[in-house]
């Protein structure tokens, strides 16, 4: 029951994130927006990391569990410094593209495109973990892409009119899943916890983006950071993203990842509802049919993976 509640909370919060992205003032570009909300996420997760480390140290002192595993969780980040730096850069690029995709494609189309992440999860599991991809998974991966094209092109299937924002979101989804696939062995070796990972990657992403910002943008853009109104959007986005991640990890701590994924699969329809009410985006019959195809495909892929 708890896992389902946390899963639904993650779904609700995550479905509203595109709305926050598109409601922010036009002067806040994707680069500085991502940098600031990543740093705020890191600040939110900092006390969680400190509390978690305190509990691990207490367990080591009490020797309530295998002290070798606990020491690995406490100090494993030291053995993975270079990898964490890579993760910081990877997620920095992925999240900037994530924001740009919503700007160009809109909340509905970009959210649908983000569901392609499950296809990249299968691909990278095959490449790095040698997990086989069954014919059923291949079929429903193709069916998912069909649903996406149906929705994006409004039934015309004219790929020449394919929104560039959709392609950018697909690239962002690929980068996300590449990083997650490379992180899995570190979790398996008990060298990092999800809380440590989220804190580290957001802190390093924020530092990387802030330190490189004025290479690509004029120095006059410092005014963006001097406008107190802009901090409202930085903070709101940071809190929504942080709690979305927190509730997701709480969900998978009670449920299998496959079940938590299914709970989150209706996100495109929920985002479409928010986008229609708040942003005035048009949700067409093609969006609805495409969303149903995508959600059903995800369900079948996860079901097949769970049976494997």
pTM (whole model) above 0.85: yes
Question: 195 with 47: CB under 8 angstroms?
Answer: no
State the average pLDDT over residues 101-128: 92
Rounded to 5 degrees, what angle do the CA atoms 219, 224, 226 make? 100
Interatomic CA distance for residues 208 and 195, integer angstroms = 20
Predicted confidence (pLDDT) per residue in 272-281, tens digit: 999 999 999 9
State the average pLDDT over residues 279-295: 94
pLDDT of residue 257: 67
What is the C-alpha R_g of the chain?
Answer: 20
State the average pLDDT over residues 217-236: 94
Per-residue pLDDT band for 187 (boundaries 50, 70, 90) equals confident
pLDDT of residue 156: 87
**Could you tell me which residues come within 8 angstroms of residue 287 by beta carbon, excluding any fewer than 6 positions away?**
108, 112, 151, 272
State the average pLDDT over residues 32-48: 95
Number of CB atoms found within 10 A of residue 259's CB: 17
> What is the average pLDDT score of the chain?
89
* Residues 86-109: b if buried by 16+ CB within 10 A, e if exposed: ebbbbbbbbbbbbbbbbbebbbbb
Residue 304 has pLDDT above 90, yes or no: no
Interatomic CA distance for residues 245 and 36, integer angstroms = 17
Dihedral of CA atoms 295, 296, 301, 306 in degrees, nearest 10, equals 100
Predicted confidence (pLDDT) per residue in 27-37, tens digit: 999 999 999 99
Predicted confidence (pLDDT) per residue in 51-99, tens digit: 988 888 888 787 755 567 777 777 878 888 899 999 999 999 999 999 9
Question: 37 with 238: CB under 8 angstroms?
Answer: yes
């Amino acid at each position: 029951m708890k896992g389902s509640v946390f899963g639904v909370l993650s779904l609700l919060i995550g479905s509203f994130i595109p709305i926050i992205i598109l409601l922010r003032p036009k002067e806040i570009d994707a680069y500085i927006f991502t940098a600031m909300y990543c740093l705020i996420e890191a600040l939110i997760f900092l006390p969680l990391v400190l509390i978690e480390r305190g509990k691990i140290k207490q367990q080591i002192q009490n020797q309530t569990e295998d002290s070798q595993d606990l020491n690995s969780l406490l100090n494993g980040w030291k053995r993975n410094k270079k990898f964490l730096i890579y993760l910081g850069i990877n997620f920095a690029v992925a999240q900037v593209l994530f924001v740009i995709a919503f700007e160009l494609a809109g909340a509905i189309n970009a959210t649908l495109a983000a569901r392609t992440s499950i296809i990249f999860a299968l691909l990278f599991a095959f490449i790095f973990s040698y997990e086989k991809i069954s014919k059923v998974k291949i079929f429903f991966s193709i069916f998912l892409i069909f649903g996406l094209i149906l929705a994006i092109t409004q039934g015309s299937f004219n790929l020449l009119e394919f929104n560039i924002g959709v392609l950018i979101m697909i690239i962002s989804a690929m980068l996300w899943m590449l990083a997650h696939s490379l992180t899995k062995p570190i979790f398996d070796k008990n060298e990092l916890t999800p809380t440590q990972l989220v804190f580290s990657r957001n802190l390093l992403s924020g530092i990387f983006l802030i330190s490189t910002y004025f290479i690509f943008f004029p120095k006059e853009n410092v005014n963006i950071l001097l406008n107190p109104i802009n901090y409202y959007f930085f903070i709101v986005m940071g809190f929504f993203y942080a709690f979305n991640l927190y509730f997701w990890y709480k969900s998978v701590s009670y449920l299998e990842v496959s079940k938590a994924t299914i709970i989150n699969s209706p996100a495109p329809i929920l985002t479409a509802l928010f986008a229609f009410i708040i942003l005035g985006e048009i949700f067409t019959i093609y969006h609805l049919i495409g969303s149903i195809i995508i959600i059903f495909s995800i369900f079948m892929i996860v079901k097949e993976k769970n049976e494997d």
